[in-house]
């Protein structure tokens, strides 16, 4: 049975996404399908490339209880989840950065530390085709940047140092071998 997620080794993961010209029923259906696949894999985000599409869209459902600041308060009050982000573009980011372990559905069971800006400002189209601007902090900001990387053909491995790549070489080879053995 084919995996619903494109894993490391699949060339579509390196493709840069194509802007969505118009938000149609098909795009909304794609977003719904992506959410279904993401939930089935216990993820919090998924980019179109991860299911073999090249439209500039990603979906997120960041749990509110996982996205709190040091005082236990929500980082992004008023931001409802799940959301689809169409033609997303970061238009601002903080100078302050944070390092945190990231996983990726396209790299099963691999977690590596990644440094990213702590806050971002994202411009995107919503499911109705309206332009929105979102100020995001914490885990939401990190998830946005991770999924936007996918839309630009940037993968988790690209954030790894040579030493980290060496450390995880066996696991990476295993993922690629699994992909090739399935005839993908």
pTM: 0.93
Q: What's the pLDDT tens digit per position in 102-118?
A: 999 999 989 999 999 99
Least confident of 108-112, 129-133, 169-173, 175-179: 175-179
CA angle, 39 then 147 then 57, to 5°: 80
- So which residues are the catalytic ones? 147
At 6, give phi and psi (nearest 5°). -75, 125
H or E segment to which residue 71 belongs = none
Cβ atoms < 10 Å from Cβ of 183: 6
Q: For residue 154, count CB atoms less than 10 angstroms from its CB and return exposed for 0-12, middle for 13-18, buried for 19 or more.
A: middle
Q: What's the pLDDT tens digit per position in 76-110?
A: 998 999 999 999 999 999 999 999 999 999 999 89
Q: Which residue has the tokens 């080879």?
A: 173
The arithmetic mean of pLDDT across residues 119-126, rounded, is 98
According to DSSP, the β-strands at 97-104 and 83-93 are unpaired
Name the 3-class secondary structure at 169: helix
What pLDDT does 122 receive? 98
C-alpha to C-alpha distance for 4 and 146, rounded to whole angstroms: 19
């Amino acid at each position: 049975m084919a995996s619903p997620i494109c894993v490391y080794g699949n060339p579509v993961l390196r493709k840069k996404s194509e802007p969505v010209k118009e938000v149609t029923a098909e795009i909304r259906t794609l977003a719904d399908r992506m959410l279904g696949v993401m939930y089935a894999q216990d993820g919090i985000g998924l980019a179109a490339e991860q299911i073999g599409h090249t439209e500039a869209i990603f979906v997120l459902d960041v749990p509110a209880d996982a996205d709190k600041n040091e005082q236990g308060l929500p980082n992004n009050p008023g931001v409802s989840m799940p959301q689809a982000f169409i033609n997303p573009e970061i238009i601002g980011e903080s100078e302050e950065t944070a390092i945190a372990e990231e996983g990726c559905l396209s790299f099963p069971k691999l977690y590596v530390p990644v440094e990213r800006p702590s806050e971002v400002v994202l411009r995107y189209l919503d499911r109705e085709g309206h332009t929105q601007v979102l100020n995001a902090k914490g885990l939401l900001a990190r998830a946005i940047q991770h999924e936007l990387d996918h839309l630009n053909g940037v993968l988790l491995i690209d954030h790894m140092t040579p030493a980290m790549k060496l450390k995880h070489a066996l696991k990476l080879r295993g993922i690629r071998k699994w992909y090739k053995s399935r005839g993908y």
